Chains A and B, each alone.
Chain A
């Protein structure tokens, strides 16, 4: 983007979860469910004298996208790092379960998940983990009927158990600013030492897990500019492609064939992954 385009664009990253959900749905069709006026505060954060939020950091918005029934599940990265607690997790899982029920009854409701999350909310540890298992079950059930489209725009990115949920999506859209990985750099450094992963090296982090790299290595489907219209167009394009004949999560043989060629005595570089997956997963 040049300077004029940068000034003209409507940044998706700078939008909060609610504004992101509104922007993805057709104008005038967005209705929020289990919204902030239901005052669904996390009981577990309150027990620990931590600040709660009336929507627990997740927005469930129902409406139309290109005229089709759609539910957007948007995680607010600015609240507790987008972490999944019991309530926020139940909102996503519960909405996916209702979308599955719609499809079983012949209503082709589809889902977009906007991932801006560090994974399990550690203050609600086991209930966050349980909710993520429910979310994963919901995605796998729904994607048999309609594509489940994942988006991660940044700047939190998508980590932990929710990165596994991202790996279940039919399609995954990222910006260059977003990151997608299981273990956050700090946690790898804590568990495996600074030689394994230096959490201060931002270049290393983005070169391995950033949007550009993930798309170049077939671990995500589209890398778009931080522009709301571009994100929306990419989401619409994914739905237009329909349910993929084989989901990325179901390509075990292809991935194992690639991994068998990895020289595990060396640390991996971004180019190694591009060479290997560029050929093996194309």
Chain B
């Protein structure tokens, strides 16, 4: 697929098929990235009339780490994400809570990087760096919104977006949230890929599609666009509107934790366990 998206700018060297790069460009009006990093892009843009920081992971076919060339979150990506988020926290340190800039994580991450180098140098720690930065940003009062425009897989999603106050996803067959690719998940659970797919069709948390994921109650909103490959002005306005609505929802919520995700019909057990714990917590002393 050739990159024919509007607002394309000459300095962009992103992978032609990168949804993350396309949406970063569209949402920030082609703003210049703040660093010369090849895979972690941070750009300034406007959200609800106020400055906001947008972050995306993009592919780099020449990445020095060979297992992180297709947009995977690897060692360097995890630590740079951490830096990019902490930059915002540090820059806004002296601002009042209501003036802390929103952070929008544009999520299009096929996976974490699977490789020997990655394990040797502690990729888990790099991803923890990113998770801690996003969680600290949220706790500090930065409204954090995750916009899922492609794949949101496993450890990569945990590192880039899952700590957001609110998650918004595009309704699209190429958008998916999951813990592991089908081939590996089948191997680990001692099943065939066909058996896995049959189960995924009737067990909501096992499904790969975004509609099933939405049924878990974790998403704030799912958006249906007219033209997914080449979003038009109307589509862009719809996404901007959803981000603004998510921002307003965050600002009207006194809580800065992830409790708003627990209300879904399929998370009854998550709520019951918390109720039990709360009842027994004090009684145990």
Q: Which residues of A does B touch, CB under 8 Å?
A: 31, 33-34, 38, 40, 42-44, 47-48, 60, 62-63, 69, 86-87, 89-91, 94-95, 97-98, 118-120, 122-134, 136-137, 140-141, 160-161, 163-168, 180-184, 186-188, 190-192, 196-197, 208-209, 214, 217, 219, 247-253, 255-256, 258-259, 262, 264, 267-270, 272-273, 276-277
Q: Which of B17-25, B95-103, B238-246, B274-282 contacts A (4 or more CB under 8 A)?
A: B274-282
Contact A196:B116 (CB < 8 A) given known A98-B281, A168-B128:
yes
Residues of B within 8 A of A129 (CB): 154, 157-158, 162, 177-179
Question: A136 and B261: CB pair below 8 A?
Answer: no
**Contact in complex: A249, B132 (CB < 8 Å):** yes
- Interface set, chain B 47-86, CB cutoff 8 A to A: 64-67, 75-76, 79-80, 82-83, 86
Q: Known contacts A126-B179, A126-B205, A183-B112; decide if A164 and B127 are in contact (CB<8 Å).
A: yes
Which of these binds chain A: B6-14, B26-34, B180-188, B222-230? B180-188
Q: Is the CB of B180 within 8 A of A33?
A: no
Distance between Cα atoms of A104 and B162 in the complex (Å):
24
Contacts of A256 in B (CB 8 A): 76, 79-80, 83
Complex contact A133–B129 (CB within 8 A): no
B75, B76, B203: the one within 8 Å of A47 (CB): B203
> Would A252 and B216 count as touching, CB distance under 8 A?
no
B131:A264 contact, CB within 8 angstroms: no
A252 touching B75, Cβ below 8 Å: no
Complexed CA–CA distance, A180 and B125 (Å):
10
Assess A126 versus B118: contact at CB under 8 Å? Given A40-B273, A90-B270, A140-B136: no
CB-based contact B257/A192 at 8 Å: no
- Contact assessment for A33 and B281 in the assembled complex, using a CB-CB cutoff below 8 Å: yes
Contact flag A268-B126 (CB < 8 Å), given A122-B189, A262-B121: no
- CA A140 to CA B111, docked complex, whole Å: 23
Distance between A171 CB and nearest chain B CB, rounded to angstroms: 13
Cα-based distance from A160 to B123 in the complex (angstroms): 11
A126 close to B177 (CB less than 8 A): yes
Shortest C-beta distance, A24 to chain B (Å), equals: 15
A136, closest chain B residue (CB):
B131
Evaluate contact between A273 and B274: CB separation under 8 angstroms. no
Whether B270 pairs with A124 at a CB distance below 8 angstroms is: no
Minimal beta-carbon separation of B164 from chain A (angstroms): 9
Are A140 and B135 in touch, CB under 8 angstroms?
Answer: yes
Q: Do A62 and B115 form a contact, CB below 8 Å, given A161-B158, A270-B120?
A: no
Question: What are 22 of the A-B contact pairs (CB < 8 Å)?
Answer: A33-B277, A87-B273, A123-B203, A124-B206, A125-B180, A126-B179, A126-B205, A126-B213, A160-B154, A161-B158, A164-B128, A183-B155, A196-B114, A197-B116, A247-B132, A256-B76, A256-B83, A259-B75, A259-B76, A264-B64, A268-B120, A272-B120
Residues of B contacting A98 in the complex (Cβ-Cβ under 8 angstroms):
277-278, 281
**B284–A33 touching, CB < 8 Å:** yes
Q: Given the complex, which residues of A lie within 8 Å of B272, measured CB to CB?
A: 40
A252 to B126, CA, bound (A): 8
A258 vs B53: C-alpha distance when bound (angstroms): 27
Asked if B76 and A209 sit within 8 Å, CB to CB, the answer is: no
* Nearest Cβ on chain B to A60's Cβ, whole angstroms: 7
A44→B216 CA distance, assembly (Å)? 13
Known interface pairs A124-B206, A268-B120; A190-B269 also in contact (CB < 8 Å): no
Task: Determine if A133 and B128 form an interchain contact, defined as CB atoms under 8 angstroms apart.
Answer: no
| Chain B, Cβ-Cβ closest to A43 | B269
Of chain B, the residue at the smallest CB distance from A185 is B119
Contact A264 B179 (CB under 8 A): no
B280 touches A34 (CB 8 A): yes
Check: B218 CB closer than 8 A to any chain A CB.
yes
Q: Which residues of A contact B159 (CB under 8 A)?
A: 164
What are the residues of chain B within 8 A of A264 when measuring CB–CB?
A: 64-66, 117
Question: Contacts A34-B276, A125-B185: A86 and B270 contacting too (C-beta < 8 A)?
Answer: yes
Does B122 sit within 8 A of A, measured CB to CB? yes
Given A48-B203, A62-B281; A167-B124 close (CB under 8 Å): yes
Residue pair B117, A252 in contact (C-beta under 8 Å): no
Interface size class of B (residues with CB under 8 A): 35 or more
Establish whether residues B187 and A190, one from each chain, have CB atoms under 8 Å apart when the complex forms: yes
Chain B residues numbered 122-156 whose CB sits less than 8 Å from any CB in chain A: 122-129, 131-133, 135-136, 138-139, 154-155
Q: Which residue of A lies closest to B86 (CB)?
A: A252
Q: Beyond A90-B274, A125-B206, A164-B159, is A130–B189 a contact (Cβ under 8 Å)?
A: no
Cα distance A69–B270 in the bound complex, in angstroms: 25
CA gap between A251 and B278 in the complex, in Å: 35
For residue B126, give the distance in angstroms from its CB to the closest CB of chain A.
Answer: 7
B120 interface neighbour in A31, A48, A164, A273, Cβ under 8 Å: A273
Which residues of chain B are within 8 angstroms of A140 by Cβ–Cβ distance?
131-132, 135-136, 139
Report Cα–Cα, A161/B178, bound state, in Å. 12
Q: How far is the CA of A209 from the CA of B278 in the complex (A)?
A: 37
B248 at the interface (CB under 8 A from A): no
Q: Which residues of B contact A126 (CB under 8 A)?
A: 177-179, 204-207, 213, 216, 218
B155 touches A160 (CB 8 A): yes
Contact B205 A44 (CB under 8 A): yes
